[in-house]
């Protein structure tokens, strides 16, 4: 598998993750407030990590591409934490949901054979 395809897998995985997170946030804003809103955002991080990691891994067949997507999400989440005020509990919850989403994507990919899509 070419390096170009692996880089494309990271890019597409990151876009997929961003769309999933944006979708959850769009649904949550205006419907819920306070801590429940932050919980929904954290759940969106997990869903984004799952979807983005799954796409990257399935497109490339290389686990490092899924790790790269989750790493990019973590860096973006850290930037978000500095840009906007968050409750203290949000930081560890967001980290756990990112890791759990990534781990679930790897588990699903392995269960389905772990082969890259042709």
pLDDT at position 30, please?
85
- Look at residue 113 in the predicted model and tell me its pLDDT: 66
Flag whether pLDDT at 49 surpasses 90.
yes
Q: Report the length, in residues, of the chain.
A: 118
CA–CA dist 25, 114 (Å, integer):
30
Evaluate whether 94 touches 45 at the Cβ level (below 8 Å): yes
Average pLDDT, the chain: 92
Residues in CB range of 52: below 8 A, 6 or more apart: 13, 14, 15, 16, 17, 18, 20, 66, 69, 70, 73, 105
| pLDDT above 90 coverage of the chain, percent | 81
Answering whether pTM is above 0.85, one says: yes
More confident residue, 111 or 4: 4
């Amino acid at each position: 598998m070419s390096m170009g395809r692996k880089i494309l897998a990271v890019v597409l995985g990151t876009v997929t993750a961003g769309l999933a997170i944006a979708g959850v946030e769009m649904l949550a804003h205006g419907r819920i407030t306070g801590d429940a809103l932050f919980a929904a955002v954290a759940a969106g991080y997990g869903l984004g990590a799952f979807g983005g990691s799954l796409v990257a891994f399935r497109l490339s067949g290389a686990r490092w591409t899924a790790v790269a997507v989750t790493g990019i999400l973590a860096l973006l989440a850290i930037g978000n934490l500095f840009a906007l005020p968050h409750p203290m509990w949000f930081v560890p919850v967001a980290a756990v949901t990112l890791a759990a989403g990534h781990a679930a994507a790897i588990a699903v990919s392995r269960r389905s054979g772990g082969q890259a899509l042709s």
